[in-house]
Amino acid sequence: MLKGPTGCGKTRFIEHMAYTLNKPLITVSCHEDMTATDLVGRYLLDADGTLWHDGPLTLAVRHGGICYLDEIVEARQDTTVIIHSLTDDRRVLTLEKKNEVVKAHPDFQIVISYNPGYQSVLKDLKESTKQRFAALDFSYPDSKTEVEIVTHEAKVNEATASLLIAIAERSRNLKGHGLAEGASTRMLIHAGKLIVRGISLPEACNIALIVPITDDLELRDSLKTAIAACV
């Protein structure tokens, strides 16, 4: 279970893990309309009649891949409970519509992630789900590491990356004081890519950092002032 703010590298971490372990990765973006059927599979009509088609979770269980449920708190609790039998000593997935019990492949792994800052009474994981996982806390990297990341990913120079990180830190200090989240590492990379394409740093920051995170005009002006001070 990965817990951390949006854009801090949770998904990239899982991609790197899958690459390092040489395992297929199946990513599912969770949402409130997702059902257990969407995960495990369903019967569908095709030219040969009615056939069963495995869902993403079942494919990972059968073939030994990593199933990554991104932003799992967005899914309904009656949907996520389907993973309980896979995350304890049973390691099985029950396909009720097919009357089949699938024993998990020895290489099967399941990873879930969510942003604790977006939790609410209505959107939270059941304790019975949480306690089935080991958990890792994610946050934004330290400034030196973040400079290296932005420099590499956006192809900007270190001076520009350092400026972007300084701006991001000011926005992050406003979390809980008008902003739900500050500028993420992902947003800094987007801003850097705009700069590489010839857009000025203040305008790139406005497009990629300020406008996406707030609609408050006064807060936008404050952030623009902070950018001007950094530049």
Q: What is the pLDDT of residue 205?
A: 93
Residue 135 backbone phi and psi in degrees, to 5? -125, 145
Q: According to the model, what pLDDT value does residue 230 have?
A: 76
CA distances from 37 to 78, 165, 204 (A): 11, 43, 42
pLDDT tens by residue, 138-159: 999 999 999 999 999 999 999 9
pLDDT(31) > 60: yes
What pLDDT sits at residue 118?
Answer: 62
Assess whether pLDDT exceeds 90 at residue 133: yes
Average confidence score pLDDT of the chain: 91
Partners of 28 in beta bridges: 69
- What pLDDT digit, counting tens, does each position of 40-90 carry? 999 998 877 889 999 999 999 999 999 999 999 999 888 889 999 999 999
In one letter, which amino acid is 188?
L
Q: pTM (2 decimals)? A: 0.86
